[in-house]
Amino acid sequence: MPDEPKKLRFTQRVNAEIESINSEAMALAPRRWDPSKYVVRPPREELKPGEKRPPWRPKELDEEEIIRALYDYLECTKVPILKEFTSSLFMCAEVLRRKADKNPNLGLAIRNALDKKEASLEQGMLYNKLNAIGSIFSLKQLGWKDYMDVNNRIEISQERKKVVDDLVGKILGSLPQSDKAD
């Protein structure tokens, strides 16, 4: 029986090692986005026959709560999608845009989300981690173009045009007659 304490200590040591490996893995694993911290559905109640459930509406989040939720979402996702974020909070994307127009901090948080999305898509496409066609489509939604738009027109105001015409006239007037014919 003297072997039992040895076995017990060995088992405890192995279990402790496994626990430390699991805790390290959990620390490295990405955290999942949990919108239930911000929007809580009421518990489902038992209905009597013929009884209807009252309509449920989520509580409207103020701008500071939305900003906190958005930064939490950004930590948990590699490629953020604003429509996914808004739908998980039972919010319309247009409502989020209107709130961002009024609150510059919310607008900055949204811009940070779009910048992270742009960088993630570009890196994923460059390193073959994401489908290039899908990445290009998403980047075009963010304003990217896959053609060069070169505009070489020079706009000259009427005043400057008159000054240039006067100078050309003076230069031509000062030339000898033989040079004017050429």
Whole-number Å distance between alpha carbons of 122 and 138: 10
Enumerate residues 6+ apart whose C-beta is below 8 A from 120: 78, 79, 80
The residue whose two tokens read 């490996």 is: 21
Query: Could you tell me the pTM of the whole model?
Result: 0.58
Residue 130 is predicted with a pLDDT of 85
What 3-state DSSP class applies to 89?
A: coil
Band of the pLDDT at 36, cuts 50, 70, 90?
confident
Residue 64 is predicted with a pLDDT of 92
Angle between helices 63-76 and 104-126 (to 10 degrees): 10
Quick: pLDDT tens for 124-145: 888 888 888 888 888 888 888 8
Whole-number Å distance between alpha carbons of 69 and 9: 45
Residue 153 is predicted with a pLDDT of 64
Tell me the chain's radius of gyration from C-alpha atoms.
33
Band of the pLDDT at 148, cuts 50, 70, 90?
low
Torsion of CA 81, 87, 91, 97, to 10 degrees: 20
